Chain A
Amino acid sequence: MTITNHPDTSTPKTVESVNVTIDGVEMEVPKGTLVIRAAEQIGIEIPRFCDHPLLAPVAACRACLIEIDGVPKPQPACAQVLSEGMNVRTQRSSEVARIAQEGVMEFLLVNHPLDCPVCDKGGECPLQNQAMSVGRPESRFEGEKRTFPKPINVNAEVLLDRERCVSCARCTRFAEEIAGDPSLELLERGAQQQVGTANDEPFDSYFSGNVVQICPVGALTSASYRFRSRPFDLISVPTTCEHCASGCSLRTDNRRGTVTRRLAWEDPEVNEDWNCDKGRFAFAYLNSGRIESPLIRENGELRTASWPEAMHVAAAGLTAASESAVLIGGRATVEDAYAYAKFARVVLASDNIDFRARATSDEEVGFLAAHVAGKKLDVSYADIESASQVALVAFEPEDESPILLLRLRKAAKKGVAIHSVGSVYSLGSEKISASWVKAQAGSEATAIAGLDLDSNSIILVGERAANSQGALTAVSEIAAKTGAKIAWVPRRAGERGALDAGALAGLLPGGRPIADPTARDHIAQAWNVEATSLPTVGRSGNELIEAIASGAVQAVITAGVDPADMPNGDALVTGIENADFVVALENHHSAITERASVVFPVAVVTEKSGSFMNWEGRAQPFSAAFREALTLSDAGVLSMLASAMDKELTGDTRALRKELNSIGVWGGERAGMHQVSAPVSEGTTLATWRLLIDSGVMQEGEPHLAATARPSVAGVGADLFEQLGQPEAITVTGPKGSITLPAAVMNIVTDTVWLPMNSSESHIYAQLGCGYGDAVSVKGGAA
């Protein structure tokens, strides 16, 4: 059951209010308030099934009937708007309401099986609970219950036991109203009415798991959790999703040291009541394939080592290097990223640090410094709903920040004009009724400059803008010209926090330019070091990778870096191979651990506390699901390593957070952006991004989720499809090789081909050797 306990903060103070009485309690509520919501505020729980605060009222289940003085028939509290002077009596003070509710409850159980002992919902079931609280002690029904063959899959991850369904239609309404995926529907009618899909089209939605969570009975269950546990055997911990930069609040349920499921946790300012299927179901990686102890390389082979031995070896190796660097993937918590940022500057005396294990540009560094770093909640989810326009630049919210897509849908329904600037007009664009501002992949700058924005507009910039030369400059310019606000939406959960924590060359914590004397003084004071001891501007991005590859940088610390995610991954692997000394802090093996000198196992999100800063710049803290876990966080390892190198660095998450917060954000002058002009594109270019459900390593081990992935196809526009002779398959060739996938006609600009970046049979960097916006050749058929 969902009960909103928090007052609606979006209601302006000047709103008209009405005076009403509920069960004798006089109260003043904003005009338009529903009886059921007002009753919640004074602790009166009216039974409900179809009601959900985020879905439009339907008054279908009739469980919430209440009595209103002067109204002859009982009315549904979920749809009844309170008006001035209304005297409402719920089951607590009205016999009419009590009997009406009892009657509905008895009806609801007519066709509902009494299989609670084998039902996943048992123990946390609104039907069970409300039958106990407002139902009759015994049913008078002696007839035969309606039955259906046991569960059917509405998609690979979600199962449906139709006989348990009470036709509240929460799931179908969620699919249509919230997710915009109306492929789960009510079928048949009357007592035979049931939830279902078309014969040959599953419930295709990135948000399908939410229907399991909002089902008020056990009709919808997930393949991954079915028959796994009883709710009362679970330990629930509020957590933050580690998969993307949306920053969803989750609840992680575990039993005997294993995560059994994850649920969306109500967070009205961020994910409301929802999350995506990746956030919900992709957690098997937490439990399997872990690196269990420190490893050191000896005679070319990794061997298990004790912590002191590994620390000793690592400290010696790092100390010996004249120039070191730190590469952290985009998945570190704010606190861990801060520890790396400080470790690099204080322990390694180096500003060579980068959190962007992906395609990058120097233009991006300038953009982040000028417009993003240290700006917290400059643009929020709520702002999106009240903006006049929202422009999406090199950003595909459905795949890259799904909860943001839901908020954009809400905004679109309120009339916010959304523009998608890019080469592809996707299904996601349709769901937010976006207008399409066409631009060749990699050449978005001109289209951005042509946007007609105003000071109440928001530009949401995706991380792929780094691949589009001049795009970030164009964003910066149009924002300056129109007053539109900018928000940067990276894909990974840790990128925004790492930026603010100072894990990028040139930027100290809080967005402080390392070249700025005042900024250096701030940090030196906070870190209790001499300002002169702080390094000067170091290397980042491609320059850093090249420096590692060339041997200019001799020692490297990596954390959560997978070369396969980077266009220059091959160069990095070569560099790692050739480097004098490499320390890897990882929880799973990778191309880097295979070549590292020392490997330290680190905690995964369930084993540590921390926070992820989402795209808004909102820190979303979480605590460890398994408090007894023995694994160390990255910061914990760094702390030990620092002391092995005779330096001091706290490894305590809380202390790190406190320190970072006390440093605060930079209020001084920001560096201006280095202006970059747009290129002129020629020939066919590649548009590509990572689909939400794909071959990402953190999705491993969950086959049901993987089965809901969208198919790997090569997308072209209708014109190119014709030119190619309407082929069944399309082959795309880059510098390194080719990818052949089934052809699909999509809304794509001329001379662009789309491929999934990291899906089955389509791994762009490994197979093509180029990326977003790069020139490729296309032909029909196989290679």
Chain B
Amino acid sequence: MISESTRIKMRELAGRYPNSRSALLPMLHLVQAEEDEVTTEGIAACAQELEITQAEVTAVATFYTMYKHSPVGKHHIGVCINTMCGLLGGDAVYQRVAERLGASHNGPSADGNFWLERIECQAACTHAPVMTVDWEFMDDVTPQSAVDVIDKLVAGEEVWSTRGPMIRDFQATEHTLGMAEDDLATVGNCVDEKMLAGLKIAKSGAQNS
């Protein structure tokens, strides 16, 4: 069921673009924010708001991998297994996390609270191996630190992204993506030592000539 408040947001999104159809990707994120997946009702709502066919929406909803077609649960866990992360230890991280969750690639955990995905390059190769929780960065993970994160999430403890805010849940992130903003820009660390690696050397004067 797509609520009226989501529909109002969908219309706001449609108004941001010279051509309303541009709002389709964000609108599908909003569907996931509300439904925890892209449901048939959500597809119908997007089609209705944009005056396009459900097939046109389905075509888009099945093309992009961030849209899921069964409930994700509370948290989406991504482990990068592309060459850099995978070979630097992401493979081991993925294996441990999969065992911990009782999940396999692109599927739910045994209890339905988590969704596990082998993700492709997350543009954080300097921080390999990389994991994401609800798409927030968990940099430089080890199998143990990854499982610790899962354990904390299971226990309902606070978990902070290594370069980002406190973890909320999958649907909250999807809302951020849908509206392309939230009020979390000012919290959490976002620049770390690795991003400052060159700058530090330059400023220290320890430069080659």
Q: Do A and B bind each other?
A: yes
Question: Known contacts A189-B63, A198-B43: does B58 contact A182 (CB below 8 Å)?
Answer: no
Chain B positions within 8 Å of A203 at CB level: 55
Cα distance A572–B62 in the bound complex, in angstroms = 58
Interface residues of A in 184-221 (CB under 8 A from B): 184-189, 196-201, 203
**Whole-angstrom distance between the Cβ of A165 and the nearest chain B Cβ:** 14
In contact, B62 and A198 (Cβ under 8 angstroms): no
Question: Known contacts A185-B58, A187-B58, A196-B58: does B53 contact A201 (CB below 8 Å)?
Answer: yes
Q: Is A183 an interface residue (CB 8 A)?
A: yes
Cα distance A386–B56 in the bound complex, in angstroms = 31
In contact, A185 and B55 (Cβ under 8 angstroms): yes
Cα distance A184–B56 in the bound complex, in angstroms = 8
In contact, A198 and B53 (Cβ under 8 angstroms): yes
In contact, A201 and B62 (Cβ under 8 angstroms): no
**Whole-angstrom distance between the Cβ of A221 and the nearest chain B Cβ:** 20
Q: Contact flags (1/0) for B56-68 with A, using CB distance below 8 Å?
A: 1111001100000
Q: Is B40 an interface residue (CB 8 A)?
A: yes
Q: Is B52 an interface residue (CB 8 A)?
A: yes
**Whole-angstrom distance between the Cβ of A153 and the nearest chain B Cβ:** 14
Closest to A203 in B: B55
Cα distance A584–B57 in the bound complex, in angstroms = 54
Chain B positions within 8 Å of A185 at CB level: 53, 55-56, 58-59
In contact, A199 and B52 (Cβ under 8 angstroms): no
Chain A positions within 8 Å of B47 at CB level: 198
Q: Is B162 an interface residue (CB 8 A)?
A: no
Chain B positions within 8 Å of A187 at CB level: 58-59, 62-63
Interface residues of B in 59-80 (CB under 8 A from A): 59, 62-63
Q: Is B122 an interface residue (CB 8 A)?
A: no
In contact, B62 and A184 (Cβ under 8 angstroms): no
In contact, A182 and B56 (Cβ under 8 angstroms): yes
Q: Is B82 an interface residue (CB 8 A)?
A: no
In contact, A188 and B56 (Cβ under 8 angstroms): no
Q: Is B106 an interface residue (CB 8 A)?
A: no
In contact, B53 and A182 (Cβ under 8 angstroms): yes
Cα distance A418–B104 in the bound complex, in angstroms = 56
In contact, A200 and B62 (Cβ under 8 angstroms): no
Chain B positions within 8 Å of A188 at CB level: 62-63
**Whole-angstrom distance between the Cβ of A203 and the nearest chain B Cβ:** 8
In contact, A198 and B57 (Cβ under 8 angstroms): yes
In contact, B58 and A199 (Cβ under 8 angstroms): yes
Q: Which of B44, B56, B58 has the most CB of A within 10 A?
A: B58
In contact, A197 and B63 (Cβ under 8 angstroms): no
Q: Is B54 an interface residue (CB 8 A)?
A: yes
Chain A positions within 8 Å of B52 at CB level: 182
Cα distance A623–B55 in the bound complex, in angstroms = 41
Q: Which of B40, B43, B47, B54 has the most CB of A within 10 A?
A: B54
**Whole-angstrom distance between the Cβ of B28 and the nearest chain A Cβ:** 14
Closest to A190 in B: B63
In contact, A197 and B55 (Cβ under 8 angstroms): yes
In contact, A184 and B55 (Cβ under 8 angstroms): yes
Closest to A199 in B: B40
**Whole-angstrom distance between the Cβ of A595 and the nearest chain B Cβ:** 49
Cα distance A199–B41 in the bound complex, in angstroms = 10
Chain A positions within 8 Å of B58 at CB level: 185, 187, 196-199
In contact, A186 and B59 (Cβ under 8 angstroms): yes
Cα distance A201–B53 in the bound complex, in angstroms = 8
Cα distance A185–B60 in the bound complex, in angstroms = 9
Chain A positions within 8 Å of B63 at CB level: 187-189
Cα distance A201–B43 in the bound complex, in angstroms = 11
Chain A positions within 8 Å of B44 at CB level: 200
Chain B positions within 8 Å of A200 at CB level: 40, 44, 54
Q: Contact flags (1/0) for B18-61 with A, using CB distance below 8 Å?
A: 00000000000000000000001001100100001111111100
Chain B positions within 8 Å of A183 at CB level: 53-56
In contact, B54 and A199 (Cβ under 8 angstroms): yes
Chain A positions within 8 Å of B43 at CB level: 198-199
Chain A positions within 8 Å of B57 at CB level: 198
Chain A positions within 8 Å of B53 at CB level: 182-183, 185, 198, 201
Closest to B39 in A: A199
Chain A positions within 8 Å of B59 at CB level: 185-187
Chain B positions within 8 Å of A182 at CB level: 52-53, 55-56
Cα distance A197–B47 in the bound complex, in angstroms = 13
**Whole-angstrom distance between the Cβ of B62 and the nearest chain A Cβ:** 5
Cα distance A459–B62 in the bound complex, in angstroms = 44
Closest to A201 in B: B54
Closest to A185 in B: B59
**Whole-angstrom distance between the Cβ of A206 and the nearest chain B Cβ:** 15
Cα distance A201–B52 in the bound complex, in angstroms = 12
Closest to A202 in B: B55
Q: Contact flags (1/0) for A585-614 with B, using CB distance below 8 Å?
A: 000000000000000000000000000000
Closest to B40 in A: A199
Chain B positions within 8 Å of A197 at CB level: 55, 58
**Whole-angstrom distance between the Cβ of A429 and the nearest chain B Cβ:** 15
**Whole-angstrom distance between the Cβ of B117 and the nearest chain A Cβ:** 16
Closest to B65 in A: A189
Cα distance A184–B47 in the bound complex, in angstroms = 14
Cα distance A464–B53 in the bound complex, in angstroms = 31
Chain B positions within 8 Å of A201 at CB level: 53-55
Closest to B58 in A: A198
Cα distance A504–B63 in the bound complex, in angstroms = 59
Cα distance A201–B48 in the bound complex, in angstroms = 13
Closest to A200 in B: B40
**Whole-angstrom distance between the Cβ of A745 and the nearest chain B Cβ:** 13
**Whole-angstrom distance between the Cβ of B49 and the nearest chain A Cβ:** 15
Q: Which of B47, B54, B55, B62 has the most CB of A within 10 A?
A: B55
Q: Contact flags (1/0) for A114-148 with B, using CB distance below 8 Å?
A: 00000000000000000000000000000000000
Q: Could you jot down 28 A-B contacts, CB within 8 Å? A: A182-B52, A182-B53, A182-B55, A182-B56, A183-B55, A185-B55, A185-B56, A185-B58, A186-B59, A187-B58, A187-B59, A187-B62, A187-B63, A188-B62, A188-B63, A189-B62, A197-B55, A197-B58, A198-B53, A198-B55, A198-B57, A198-B58, A199-B40, A199-B43, A200-B40, A200-B44, A200-B54, A201-B53
Known: A182-B52, A182-B53, A187-B63. 12 other contacts (CB 8 A): A183-B54, A185-B55, A185-B56, A196-B58, A197-B55, A198-B43, A198-B55, A198-B57, A199-B40, A200-B40, A200-B44, A201-B53
Chain A contact residues, CB within 8 Å of chain B = 182-189, 196-201, 203
Closest 7 pairs between A and B when the two form their complex, measured CB to CB: A198-B54, A185-B59, A183-B55, A185-B55, A198-B55, A201-B54, A187-B62
